[in-house]
Amino acid sequence: MLEGKVVVVTGGGKGIGRHAALTFAREKARVVIIDVSQEWLDKTGPELGDLTDALGINADIRDESAVQRAFEQVVHRFGQIDVLVNDAAIVPHFAWGIPRWPLIRDMDLSFWDRVIQTNLGGTFLCSKHALAHMEPRRSGHIINLYGGGGVTPGGACAYVVTKDAIWTFSRYLAEEVRESNVCVVTFSPQVPIVTEGAPDDAFTRLPTPEVLGQGFVLAAQVPMEQSGQLFYHEDGKLVSGKDGRYE
């Protein structure tokens, strides 16, 4: 069902975003990855190109002009946008065993702003500019990442604030665009994931993005009646969560 569809994955150069991009590429969707790191674009782009028609775009999702240009570039190349995966984020990765972020009383405003504007602001900007192309066609899926699996108090406040806000953003956006037939869902990895750059011992303790299987591919096919819901991947299926937190 996804063959020939155009899928945009932010933060697609590495980690969970790279996994998502590869799963779509194997389904023969046309895949665009947007990443702030040219180095990771150069590494992942050829992998995708071996599987499908792919494009890498270097852009900072905090910059609205850059985001607008990126989505216009996608449409110029492929003619449409069918799926947006808002994955790009600054993540604490405390489960890897790396130092915790500062507590709020010790946190610089610039650090707070960078996390908020990347995680929440980037989700807003990319959704906004994807919708400019989805709504006229009355078709599209937006998949927003919910996090927090394994993140305990103490240095995680800025991150968790963004992810709870993304969950709320997704639910309200789903209602705004329901009449345009654009489906908005939230997807949660539910557990800490280990990716490139983690200490070696973290790979012995934590799952890699492959544990998410076809979760993103399934989320891109959720029917409109389930727009606004939160999902996680379990035993090869999408499971709907009651809210942003799991029992």
Q: Which domains are assigned to the chain? A: 6-241 (3.40.50.720)
* pLDDT at residue 245 greater than cutoff 90: no
Sign of the alpha-carbon torsion through 109, 59, 12, 238: positive
Kindly indicate the confidence band of residue 172, based on its pLDDT and cuts at 50, 70 and 90: very high
Kindly indicate the confidence band of residue 247, based on its pLDDT and cuts at 50, 70 and 90: very low
* pLDDT at residue 167 greater than cutoff 50: yes
According to the model, what pLDDT value does residue 246 have? 35
According to the model, what pLDDT value does residue 147 have? 78
Q: To which H or E segment does residue 70 belong?
A: helix 64-78
* pLDDT at residue 155 greater than cutoff 90: no
Measured CA to CA, the distance from residue 37 to residue 58 in angstroms comes to 7
Kindly indicate the confidence band of residue 243, based on its pLDDT and cuts at 50, 70 and 90: low
Helix crossing, 64-78 with 122-134: angle to 10°?
30
Q: What is the mean pLDDT of residues 45-49?
A: 97
* pLDDT at residue 190 greater than cutoff 90: no
Considering only residues 47 and 154, tell me which one the structure prediction assigns the higher pLDDT.
47
Cβ–Cβ under 8 Å, residues 199 and 96: yes
* pLDDT at residue 31 greater than cutoff 90: yes
Does 246 qualify as catalytic in the annotation?
no
According to the model, what pLDDT value does residue 95 have? 87
This prediction has a pTM of 0.95
**Token pair 């654009």 in the structure block, residue:** 182
**pLDDT tens figures, 58-106:** 999 999 999 999 999 999 999 999 999 999 999 998 888 888 899 999 9
Kindly indicate the confidence band of residue 121, based on its pLDDT and cuts at 50, 70 and 90: very high
In 3D space, the residue among 53, 161, 58 whose CA is nearest the CA of residue 101 turns out to be 161
% of the chain with per-residue pLDDT over 70: 95
According to the model, what pLDDT value does residue 94 have? 87
| Mean of all residue pLDDT scores within the chain | 93
Q: How far is CA 98 from CA 73, 92, 119, 156, 201, in A?
A: 37, 8, 20, 13, 11
- Catalytic hit among 146, 159, 232, 246: 159
Considering only residues 22 and 191, tell me which one the structure prediction assigns the higher pLDDT.
22
